[in-house]
Amino acid sequence: MTTTRDSGALAHLDALGQLSLFRGVDPCDIAPLLREARQRDLAPGDVLLEKDQFNPRVFILLEGRLSVHTQLDRDAIALLEAGDVVGDMSVVTGQPASAFVRSDTHCRLIDLPADALWAVFDESRPFARNLLRLYVRRIANLNLVVNSAQRLQQEYRVHATTDPLTGLYNRRWLNESLAFEISRAQLRKRPLTVMVADIDNFKQYNDQHGHVAGDQALKGVAAAVLVALRGSDMAVRYGGEELVVVLPGAELEEARKVAERLHRAVADQPIIGHDDTPLPPVTLSIGLANMVGGDSPEQLIARADQALYRAKHQGRNCTAE
């Protein structure tokens, strides 16, 4: 429950003198500020500032802790301790408050009109210097929050677009990116080839050696594929044992060379079981399709998939177009 009461200047001089904001400030310079001040007490959970509401007053936290929230049902983005100033940014910018401020503990604050704070700012150089330090510290903390949010956003994007077993892109990434790659190739009048590859007899491999061995085979194939591809190529685990590779700038002749490197790399890739036991190597069947006309992603993948079907019928471990 919030309570507000008038307070004389002398009642707060000792408390203010202990705060970094008033370090080195002449008490005579503080007295005019306190003549305009009221003491405000907050119980835990009281909301001091409402987001998107204009706030004409400034608060100096004497005791307790406040938390700053973008939404009240979300975690705090900042914590405010004794000596911090609250509400000043809204006053300075003339804009509504950008966040909620709520008490975490019992809090005691000085509540004063903004012009009283700026009057002390104009008269006291130590106060102005201390306030500047407070703002610099606040900006530094905000930068930490922003950097942390950016890292989390990047981690989320990686998790959202990467297959956790193989480290290749996942189908979601392909659905979002292939249309862009096709449009870019068409705009630049450059070729683009899509490769669909499948591990031969993978079901039998799983049945004979177990699903853990199958996972090891998938990881081995992914590692071999990444080594064999060109720097601009993008490999995707499309589903199960099926891979899709996007080859920007590649005509079919260049794509055939890449496919041959994949065949050799996968055949030579050691597959090691979870108990360090060597497992049999695997092979790939590959289908290629070159972009033509106004191909959609679905059409291009479908043609590559048909080519893969032909490679399977030609005896596996080969490439078809």
Give CA 74 to chain center in angstroms.
Answer: 17
Q: What's the pLDDT score for residue 12?
A: 59
Please tell me whether residues 208 and 146 are part of one structural domain.
Answer: no
Residues 243 and 135 in one domain: no
Q: For the segment 174-210, what is each residue's pLDDT rounded down to a tens digit?
A: 998 999 999 999 989 999 999 999 999 999 999 999 9
Among 102, 101, 73, which Cα is nearest to 87's?
A: 101
Which DSSP letter does residue 74 get?
S
pTM (2 decimals)? 0.58
**Domain count of the fold of the chain:** 2
Identify whether residues 185 and 314 lie together within a single domain.
yes
145 and 191 assigned to the same domain: no
Element (H, E) at 250: none
Cβ atoms of 301 and 216 within 8 Å: the answer is no
Domain presence at residue 135: yes
Is residue 11's pLDDT more than 60? Answer: no
Q: What is the CATH number of the domain that holds 210?
A: 3.30.70.270
Strand order through the sheet with 284-290? 234-239, 242-248, 192-199, 284-290, 319-320
Q: Can you give the C-alpha Rg of the chain in angstroms?
A: 33
- Residue 5 has what pLDDT? 53
298 counts as catalytic: no
The answer as to whether 51 is a domain residue is: yes
pLDDT tens digits, 276-316: 889 999 999 999 999 998 889 999 999 999 999 999 999 99
Q: In the predicted model, what is the mean pLDDT of residues 59-74?
A: 91
pLDDT in tens, 79-126: 898 888 888 777 777 788 889 999 999 999 988 887 777 777 788 888
Of residues 234 and 21, more confidence is placed in: 234
User: What whole-number distance in Å separates Cα of residue 216 and Cα of residue 231?
Assistant: 24
Is the residue at 162 inside a domain?
no
The CATH number of residue 56's host domain is 2.60.120.10
Report the pLDDT value the prediction gives residue 9, as an integer from 0 to 100. 42
6 pLDDT above the threshold of 70: no
Do 236 and 137 lie in a common domain? no
Average pLDDT across the chain, whole number: 86
Q: Which phi and psi (to 5°) does residue 320 adopt?
A: -130, 160
Q: Enumerate residues 6+ apart whose C-beta is below 8 A from 178.
A: 194, 246, 297, 300, 301
**pLDDT over 70 at 10, yes or no:** no
Domain extent for 301: 171-320
Element (H or E) spanning 6, and its range? strand 3-6
160 in a domain, yes or no? Answer: no
- Is 150 in the same domain as 175? no
pLDDT at residue 190 in the model? 94
Lookup result for tokens 């610099």: 136
**Is residue 63 domain-shared with residue 111, that is, in the same domain?**
yes
Residues 178 and 263 in one domain: yes
- The phi-psi region of residue 202 (left if phi > 0; otherwise alpha if psi is between -120 and 50; otherwise beta) is alpha
* Chain centre to alpha carbon of residue 262: 33
DSSP code of residue 232 = T
Average pLDDT over residues 244-264: 95
Q: Is 59 contained in some domain?
A: yes
Contact 94, 63 (CB under 8 A): no
**Catalytic residue from among 155, 241, 242, 298:** 241
For residues 178 and 289, membership in a common domain is answered with yes
Burial of 140 (0-12, 13-18, 19+ CB in 10 A): exposed
The model's pLDDT over 146-161, given as tens digits with 9 standing for 90+, comes to 777 677 676 666 567 8
What contacts 1, CB < 8 A, 6 or more positions away? 43, 46
**Separation of alpha carbons 97 and 317, rounded Å:** 65
Are both 311 and 209 inside the same structural domain?
yes
pLDDT of residue 269: 93
% of the chain surpassing 90 pLDDT: 53
